[in-house]
Each structure stands twice: as structure tokens, then as C-alpha cells.
Amino acid sequence: EDVILMENVWKAYPNGVMALNGIDLSVKQGEFVYIVGPSGAGKSTFIKMIFRELKPTRGKIFINNKNIANLRERQVPYFRRKIGVVFQDFRLLPKLTVYENVAFALEVIEEHPRQIKRRVMEVLDLVGLKHKMRSFPDQLSGGEQQRVSIARSICNRPPVLIADEPTGNLDPETSWQIMDVFKRINEQGTTIVMATHNRDIVNKIRHRVLALEGGMIVRDQQEGDYGYED
């Protein structure tokens, strides 16, 4: 029932910095978890571990009961396609339309063309952007680009959606819209892990809060608050 299970996870960067110091964690299916903490606390490192952007120096990380710490390099791309990831800077392909940006994620896993079309329209509808399917990224507002990026991240029906500061480049109004989209996705059963500095959102839309400091979990609170003044 654990979607994410970490056992004694450590991460040392090559320069010797210990970014994570013995993390133990269990996240169940359907949970929504905020990762908070000061700059340098290890939030990005933690997030990168979950989609195998980084490998732990020590410890085990089970995603859907599979230990990804010892995945072979050639298995990594296959694993990543099963995890949805959303970044602060959207990372859309500028020469592809909205439709194509989302479809691309399905084409690489060789879905049937008819299925692809149906799924793309479904996820664009979910994020409220069906009417923009022929637009290019630079014709969209920041919030719209982030919604395309979210549509792309969930089109493979990942069990986990990881978001690293998804509202970091957005104004408050737009940030709330993004949270509405995450709410809908979470209600469909997708586990969401979101690193954020957005105190207003964390304090208003209550979910489990994990606070990291110095690479350790210093607080794990159901319906927690942001807890920092920054």
C-alpha cells in the first residue's frame, strides 16, 4: 500500500556535501504531501531521488514496491515514464503545440494513435486547456504553460506526481488555479509530492507536511502548517 517507501536514505554529493542524512518515510496511495524547509535543506535532492534523477549513496527507495536505488541504468528511462514530474520552469518543447507536447509523452511509450488522441483530450480537459490545443507554449501565460506541463506529466497515469516548486514562477491568483488542478488529480487517486515555499497555499489547503532541515525530516505533520516565517 506504500507508493513511496524510503529506508535509511543518505545522499552525499561528490564534493562531500551530505544533502540527505538517513531519511525514513512512508507515503500511501492517494496522499498529498508538501515538502517544506529552508533553502539548502535538501528538498530538491529529496525530490530528485523519487524519480531517480539522483541515486542514493546509501539506503532503499521503493516506488510501488520496486527498489529504484538499484535499477540498472538502461531501466531508468522506463521507470521515469511511470512517474509524473512537474518543474518550476515548465520545460515544454517550444516548437510543439500544446497538443503535441502532451501527445509526445504518450508516443514515446508507443500507445495506439486513437488512444493517444483520446487521452490527450482527456488530460487537456482536466487542466482546462482543450481550447488551447493548437497554441504554442510562447502563446500561453505562465499558468497555462504550467497546466500543459501538468497534463503532460499525468497522461501516462503515474501512481505518483512529483512537483518541485510548481508555483514558484507564478502569481498568487494563478498559483491557486494550479492547486485546483492538483486537487482534481489527487482526487483521482494519484499521490502528490510537492516541494514548495508557498506559505499561503500550505496553510490554506491543508495536507501532510514534511519539513526538511539539514537533510533530515524534522517534522511530519498531518494537515500541517508551513511553519516558517520566510
Residue least distant from ligand ADP (Cβ): 141
Nearer to ligand ADP, 111 or 144 (CB): 144
> Are 137 and 146 in contact, with CB atoms under 8 Å apart?
no
Write the interaction track for ligand ADP spanning residues 144-183; mark x where CB under 6 A is met and - where it is not. x---------------------------------------
What gap in Å lies between CA 196 and CA 181, rounded to an integer? 16
Nearer to ligand ADP, 15 or 65 (CB): 15
Q: Which residues pair with 8 in a beta bridge?
A: none
**Residue 179: Cβ within 10 Å count:** 19
124: contact with ligand ADP by CB under 6 A: no
Taking contact as CB under 6 A, which single stretch among the options 41-49, 92-100, 102-110, 148-156 is the one that binds ligand ADP? 41-49
43: contact with ligand ADP by CB under 6 A: yes
What gap in Å lies between CA 190 and CA 1, rounded to an integer? 13
End-to-end CA distance of the chain: 35
> Are 41 and 209 in contact, with CB atoms under 8 Å apart?
no
Question: Checking DSSP bridges between strand 32-36 and strand 208-213, what pairing results, if any?
Answer: parallel
> Are 39 and 13 in contact, with CB atoms under 8 Å apart?
no
39: contact with ligand ADP by CB under 6 A: yes
> Are 143 and 174 in contact, with CB atoms under 8 Å apart?
yes
Minimum Å gap between C-beta 44 and ligand ADP is 3
Minimum Å gap between C-beta 30 and ligand ADP is 25
41: contact with ligand ADP by CB under 6 A: yes
**Residue 85: Cβ within 10 Å count:** 20
230: contact with ligand ADP by CB under 6 A: no
44: contact with ligand ADP by CB under 6 A: yes
Minimum Å gap between C-beta 14 and ligand ADP is 7
Residues that bind ligand ADP (CB under 6 A): 13, 15, 17, 19, 37, 39-45, 139-144
